[in-house]
Amino acid sequence: MTINWEELEKEIDSAIQIGTNNTNKKLSSRISSVTRLTDEEITEMLPESTDVKKLSKLMAIVKAAEDDNTKAKKLAHNVEELGSIVIKLINKLT
What pTM was estimated for this model as a whole? Answer: 0.68
Mean pLDDT taken over the chain? 86
Average pLDDT for residues 58-65, to the nearest whole number? Answer: 90
Helices (H), the chain: 5-32, 39-45, 49-63, 68-77, 79-93
Indicate if the pLDDT at residue 21 is higher than 90: no
Higher pLDDT: 84 or 19? It is 84
pLDDT at 4: 83
Higher pLDDT: 75 or 30? It is 75
Average pLDDT for residues 2-23, to the nearest whole number? Answer: 82
Burial classification of residue 63, based on how many CB atoms lie within 10 Å of its CB (0-12 exposed, 13-18 middle, 19 or more buried): exposed
Indicate if the pLDDT at residue 91 is higher than 80: yes
Indicate if the pLDDT at residue 34 is higher than 80: no
